[in-house]
Amino acid sequence: MNKVPFSERIWIGTRIGLAALCAAWFFLDPSPIRGAVAPGGTTAKPPGKPAATPAPARTIPRDPYVGAIVVDVGAKRVLFEDRADVQGYPASVLKLMDLLIILDRIEGGQLSFQDKVPVSAKAAATGGSQVWLAEREVFTVDELLYALMVRSANDAAVALAEKVAGNTSAFVGLMNQRARDLGMTSTRFSSVHGLPPGPGQPHDVTTARDLARLCYAVLQKRDALRYTSTRQRTFRPASSKGAVVMRSHNPLLAQVAGCDGLKTGYIAAAGFSIAVTAQRQDRRLVAVVLGSADRKHAAHEPIPIVNIN
């Protein structure tokens, strides 16, 4: 197998590393990597490669991460992977599946961006990151998609799920079916938002490779980047008291040239995760880091991940 040449060594931590990886693909030779699996592409695993490693029952974040992968989207080629098939908890990164399902429905004519979404008591009571929806408020699908992607609003996730499927359990069923359709064989969703599970409820689980497949599918949707690239937007702009200035949790939108998505996620049991995409000229990259133990450590104490001559 030919080595992939770099013009320089890349020393990265999880957050700094994502920025480096977004830039580094310019130096990559386009020759395929044997055994790589690209989202939407054909699996070509080497003999004896183990199946996905199950996530432990409690906390799983690692230093520097549970798993990572970088994909050239246009070529459907994996450029770098490290423990990409080890399972972790996606937290809010799973909201990309919410977005995908809703854009599927809009593309199919079953839903429109201007359809009205009533807020239920369940949606209004959902905690974590939110836009403080109130029961019986009504918003458009478009407004709630911005809340979902920019603010990572869990209450918006519940409201949209109920609009599409009637209840969150049915929507989770749609999420798992879509995951199977995409070949996300190591993924199992249990929630529409990625929050810590309640008593008796399992964690959402996935892998870096499966999230890359999800990102690939999302990027095929014409309107996806309109939401994932937004750095700031006001929710309820006409309200003097209820307006919420939403700011993206993705710092790379401002730090990496060409970065226009996709999603971050964090819960204590999962650690910090990010799925990011950037485009330069005619090439697009997706990089996923799943389950980093410490965002501050990752930002300030870079460690070697890649050193290919």
Separation CA 210–CA 140 (nearest Å)? 30
64: cis peptide before it, omega within 30°?
yes
8-22, 61-75, 130-144, 274-288: the lowest-pLDDT one: 8-22
Separation CA 270–CA 279 (nearest Å)? 28
- pLDDT band for 61, please (50, 70, 90 cuts): low
Has residue 116 got a pLDDT over 50? yes
Domain-wise residue ranges, the chain: 10-306
24-33, 113-122, 137-146: the lowest-pLDDT one: 24-33
Q: Give me the pLDDT at residue 132, please.
A: 97
Q: What is the pLDDT of residues 220-256, one digit of tens each?
A: 999 999 999 999 999 999 987 899 999 999 989 998 8
How far from chain centre, in Å, is Cα 108?
Answer: 23
- pLDDT band for 52, please (50, 70, 90 cuts): low
39-43, 145-149, 163-167: the lowest-pLDDT one: 39-43
Whole-structure pTM over 0.95, yes or no?
no
Percent of the chain with pLDDT over 90: 69
Q: Give me the pLDDT at residue 223, please.
A: 97
Q: Give me the pLDDT at residue 1, please.
A: 34
Residue with the two structure tokens 């080890």: 86
Which residues touch 84 (CB under 8 Å, ≥6 apart)? 67, 68, 69, 78, 207, 208, 209, 212
- pLDDT band for 4, please (50, 70, 90 cuts): very low
Which residues touch 108 (CB under 8 Å, ≥6 apart)? none
The sign of the CA dihedral 293, 295, 297, 302 is positive
Q: Give me the pLDDT at residue 36, please.
A: 36
Q: What is the pLDDT of residues 160-207, one digit of tens each?
A: 999 999 999 999 999 999 999 999 999 999 999 999 998 989 999 999
Torsion angles phi and psi, residue 265, rounded to 5: -160, 145
Q: Give me the pLDDT at residue 306, please.
A: 29
Separation CA 259–CA 39 (nearest Å)? 19
Amino acid letter, residue 268: A
- pLDDT band for 293, please (50, 70, 90 cuts): confident
Q: What is the DSSP string of 137-197?
A: -EEEHHHHHHIIIII--HHHHHHHHHHHHSSHHHHHHHHHHHHHHTT-TT-B---SS-PPP
Structure tokens at 262: 């996709």
Q: Give me the pLDDT at residue 3, please.
A: 36
Residues noted as catalytic: 92, 95, 152
Q: Give me the pLDDT at residue 280, please.
A: 83
Q: Give me the pLDDT at residue 25, please.
A: 37
Structural contact between residues 287 and 68, judged by C-beta atoms closer than 8 angstroms: yes
Q: What CATH number matches the domain at 10-306, 3.30.70.2190, 1.10.3720.10, 3.90.550.10, 3.40.710.10?
A: 3.40.710.10
Q: Give me the pLDDT at residue 40, please.
A: 38
- pLDDT band for 64, please (50, 70, 90 cuts): confident
Q: Give me the pLDDT at residue 295, please.
A: 65
Q: What is the DSSP string of 2-25?
A: PPPP-SS-EEE-HHHHHHHHHHHG
Higher-pLDDT residue of 198, 34: 198
Separation CA 106–CA 114 (nearest Å)? 10
